[in-house]
C-alpha cells in the first residue's frame, strides 16, 4: 500500500534549514502582498531519490531546469513576483545565458598595472548587456526569490511550506509546477545508513510509490490559486489522455502536456473542456524566441480570466 501524503511527511524529516526558508518565503510574500501584485511559484528541475542515508548514490532524472528558469524570466518581465523552487545546480534564470566555460572566454584581463583588472571583451558586450540589465532589474525589484532543493523529500517539504503563504494572494497566486518529480522512492525506513557495498552482492532495490501531493495542494493548501501542472510523456498516444486524467482527478486549472523529444517546440495546454497547442516554428526558434515566452503569455491571459471570474463570484 502506498503511503498517504500525511504519512509521507510524518516519515520523512524536513530539510534542516526549513525554518530559515519558511521565514524567507514569509517575508517575501508579505512584502509583495501589500502591492497587490500577482505571484507565481515555479518548480524547476528534477528531484533525486537517495539510496543511502549517507548518500553516495541516488536515482535522478533528465530534467535540466530549462523550462522553469526561462519561464521565471518571462514571468518577472510581465510583473509577477516569482518564487523559484529549483533543483540546486540545475539551470538558473539569467545565469543560463552565460553559464559554462564560454563565460570565461568572454572576459579579458589587464595585468599591466599592480592591480590587475578584469572586464568583458567588447565583442561580448552585446550578448551580456541585455541579460545583465534584466537580471539587475529583477534584483532591484526584489520580486525574485530562489529556494533550492536536491532530494524528493526536501522538494515536497519546501513545496508544502511555500504553499502556506500563498492563500493570502487568493486567485492572484499561480502555481507553475514544471519540476520533474520522482514517482518512486526508497522509504527512509528501508534505506541503509551507509554506502551500499558491492562485496555484499548486487543489491535489490525496492522503490515505493510517492503519494501525489497535487491532491492536497489543490484541495487544501491553495484552494483559490490558479494551479498549472505539467505532464511529460514519451508516447504521443497517451499524452492527452493522461493530461485529462490528471485534470479530472485533481481538479486544477490547466495541464501543460509535452513529449520529451519535442518539449522545446510543442506544448498542449489542456483544460477541462478545451485544448490549445502552443507551437514554436523552426523560424521562430532561429529568431531566438523561446516556447516558454509563448507559454507565459498564454497563462497570463488565462490567469486574468480566472482572477476576474473569481472576484465576480
Ligand atoms: O527541465 P527541462 O526544461 O529539461 O524539462 C521540462 C520538463 C519536461 C521537465 C517539464 O516540461 C515537465 O513536463 N515537467 C513535468 C514532468 C512530469 O510529468 O512529472
pLDDT digit string (tens) for 32-53? 997 678 999 999 999 999 999 9
CA 276 to ligand 1 center in whole angstroms: 18
pLDDT at position 18 is: 98
Which residues, in sequence order, are CB contacts of 242 under 8 Å at separation 6+? 231, 233, 257
Q: Which pLDDT band holds residue 56 (cuts at 50, 70, 90)?
A: very high
pLDDT at position 1 is: 78
Return the H-helix or E-strand segment holding 5: helix 5-11
- Residue 86 phi/psi, 5-degree rounding, is -130, 155
pLDDT at position 36 is: 72
Q: Residues 179-224: pLDDT tens digits? A: 999 999 999 889 999 999 999 999 999 999 999 999 999 999 999 9
- Residue 48 phi/psi, 5-degree rounding, is -100, 155
ipTM surpassing 0.90, yes or no?
yes
Lookup: cell for 62: 533528465
- Residue 243 phi/psi, 5-degree rounding, is -65, -45
Query: What average pLDDT does this structure show over 233-244?
Result: 98
Is 80 exceeded by the pLDDT of residue 277?
yes
Mutate to test the pocket of ligand 1, among 180, 183, 266 (most ligand atoms within 8 A of CB): 180
Which atom of ligand 1 has the smallest separation from the CA of 258?
13
Which residues, in sequence order, are CB contacts of 310 under 8 Å at separation 6+? 170, 171, 224
Is 80 exceeded by the pLDDT of residue 143?
yes
| Alpha-carbon dihedral sign for residues 281, 283, 288, 289 | negative
CA 240 to ligand 1 center in whole angstroms: 15
Q: Residues 66-112: pLDDT tens digits? A: 999 999 999 999 999 999 999 999 999 999 998 876 888 999 999 99
Mutate to test the pocket of ligand 1, among 232, 245, 260, 268 (most ligand atoms within 8 A of CB): 232
Q: What share of the chain is helix, strand, coil (3-state, %, to 5)?
A: 45, 20, 35
CB neighbourhood size of 193 (10 A): 7
Which atom of ligand 1 has the smallest separation from the CA of 267?
11
Amino acid at each position: 500500500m502506498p503511503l498517504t501524503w500525511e504519512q509521507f511527511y510524518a516519515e520523512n524529516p524536513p530539510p534542516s534549514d526549513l525554518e530559515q526558508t519558511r521565514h524567507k518565503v514569509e517575508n517575501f510574500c508579505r512584502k509583495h502582498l501589500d502591492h497587490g501584485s500577482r505571484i507565481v511559484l515555479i518548480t524547476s528541475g528534477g528531484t533525486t531519490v537517495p539510496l543511502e542515508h549517507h548518500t553516495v548514490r541516488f536515482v535522478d532524472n533528465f530534467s535540466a531546469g530549462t523550462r522553469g528558469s526561462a519561464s521565471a524570466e518571462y514571468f518577472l518581465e510581465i510583473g509577477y513576483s516569482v518564487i523559484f523552487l529549483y533543483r540546486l545546480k540545475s539551470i538558473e534564470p539569467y545565469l543560463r545565458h552565460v553559464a559554462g566555460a564560454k563565460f570565461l572566454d568572454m572576459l579579458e584581463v589587464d595585468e599591466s598595472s599592480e592591480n590587475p583588472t578584469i572586464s568583458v571583451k567588447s565583442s561580448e558586450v552585446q550578448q551580456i548587456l541585455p541579460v545583465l540589465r534584466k537580471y539587475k532589474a529583477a534584483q532591484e525589484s526584489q520580486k525574485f526569490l530562489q529556494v533550492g532543493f536536491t532530494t524528493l523529500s526536501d522538494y515536497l517539504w519546501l513545496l508544502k511550506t511555500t504553499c502556506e503563504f500563498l492563500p493570502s494572494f487568493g486567485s492572484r497566486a499561480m502555481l507553475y509546477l514544471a519540476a520533474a518529480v520522482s514517482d518512486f522512492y526508497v522509504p527512509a525506513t528501508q534505506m541503509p545508513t551507509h554506502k551500499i557495498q558491492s562485496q555484499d552482492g548486487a543489491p535489490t532495490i525496492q522503490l515505493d510509490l510517492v503519494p501525489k501531493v497535487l491532491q492536497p495542494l489543490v484541495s487544501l493548501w491553495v484552494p483559490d490559486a490558479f494551479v498549472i501542472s505539467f505532464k511529460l510523456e514519451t508516447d504521443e498516444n497517451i499524452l492527452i489522455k493522461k493530461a485529462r486524467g490528471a485534470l479530472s482527478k485533481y481538479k486544477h486549472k490547466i495541464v501543460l502536456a509535452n513529449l520529451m523529444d519535442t518539449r522545446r517546440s510543442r506544448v498542449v495546454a489542456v483544460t477541462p473542456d478545451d485544448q490549445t497547442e502552443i507551437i514554436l516554428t523552426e523560424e521562430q526558434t532561429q529568431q531566438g524566441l523561446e516556447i516558454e515566452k509563448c507559454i507565459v503569455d498564454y497563462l497570463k491571459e488565462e490567469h486574468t480570466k480566472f482572477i476576474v471570474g473569481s472576484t465576480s463570484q
